[in-house]
């Protein structure tokens, strides 16, 4: 039983690698190559030796990187969600497909899809996340209050909401 499970896992990893290698666009390949260097640099950072300023700078730099990655991931996930490709290729909706292929929980992927679907409707928030001005938590807060009755009103004041959210970030920095 364990051997069969390992074989399934190994096949999925190989399929994931093939999708990345064969189908991801050139900029993603380039980023992935740079990621190896970035991971090596991060692994070489001994946080135990950093002073307080070094720790604060490290945490903020990593948060900035994460926000940029979150923005690209949300955009790609949103497009994948709207395409129906996972249903056609694997017979699974995007949430179940991604959770299965990445060994994530449905809850985690569901939250990512909420962010992706919200950013598809709120362009200023998408731009602000890509710029690192707001976080995924800000987008999730918007998602929590957004419904069909008030979406248009929220879109109308979206720029003010982004300014407010970014001022909270600035004030707490």
Q: Is residue 109 part of a domain?
A: yes
Distances 158 to 16, 17, 61, 97, 140 between C-alpha atoms, Å: 37, 39, 27, 32, 14
Alpha helices (runs of H) in the chain, residue ranges in sequence order: 2-23, 26-43, 52-83, 85-90, 94-102, 106-121, 123-130, 136-145, 151-156, 158-172
Distances 100 to 5, 13, 60, 97, 155 between C-alpha atoms, Å: 14, 11, 31, 5, 34
Q: Is residue 86 part of a domain?
A: yes
Distances 51 to 46, 55, 57 between C-alpha atoms, Å: 11, 6, 10
Which of 109, 136, 102, 129 lies closest to 20, judged by CA?
102
Q: Is the Cβ–Cβ distance between 173 and 107 less than 8 Å?
A: no
Q: Is residue 150 part of a domain?
A: yes
Q: For residue range 25-61, list pLDDT tens digits in order.
A: 777 767 767 777 777 777 888 889 999 999 999 889 8
d(C-alpha 125, C-alpha 134), whole Å: 8
Q: Is residue 134 part of a domain?
A: yes
Q: Is residue 40 part of a domain?
A: no
Q: Is residue 130 part of a domain?
A: yes
Between 97 and 7, where is the model more confident? 97
Domain enclosing residue 154, as ranges: 45-172
pLDDT of residue 6: 64
Q: What is the pTM of this model?
A: 0.75
pLDDT of residue 39: 74
Contacts of 114 (CB under 8 A, 6+ apart): 140, 143
Looking at the structure of the chain, the number of domains it has is 1
Q: Is residue 103 part of a domain?
A: yes
Q: For residue range 114-172, list pLDDT tens digits in order.
A: 999 999 999 999 999 999 999 999 999 999 999 999 999 999 999 999 999 988 755 54
Q: Is residue 39 part of a domain?
A: no
* Phi, psi angles (nearest 5°) of residue 45: -85, 115
């Amino acid at each position: 039983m364990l051997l069969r499970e390992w074989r399934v896992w190994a096949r999925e990893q190989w399929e994931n690698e093939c999708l990345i290698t064969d189908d991801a666009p050139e900029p993603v390949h380039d980023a992935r190559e740079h990621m190896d260097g970035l991971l090596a640099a991060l692994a070489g950072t001994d946080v135990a030796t950093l002073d307080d300023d070094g720790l604060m700078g490290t945490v903020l730099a990593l948060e900035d990187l994460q926000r940029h990655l979150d923005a690209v991931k949300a955009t790609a996930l949103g497009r994948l969600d709207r395409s129906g490709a996972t249903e056609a290729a694997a017979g699974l909706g995007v949430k179940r497909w991604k959770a299965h292929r990445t060994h994530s929980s449905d809850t985690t992927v569901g939250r990512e899809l909420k962010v992706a679907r919200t950013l598809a409707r709120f362009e200023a928030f998408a731009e602000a996340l890509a710029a690192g001005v707001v976080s995924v938590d800000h987008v999730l807060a918007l998602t929590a209050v957004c419904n069909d009755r008030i979406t248009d009103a929220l879109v109308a004041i979206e720029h003010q909401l982004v300014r407010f959210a970014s001022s909270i970030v600035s004030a707490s920095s």
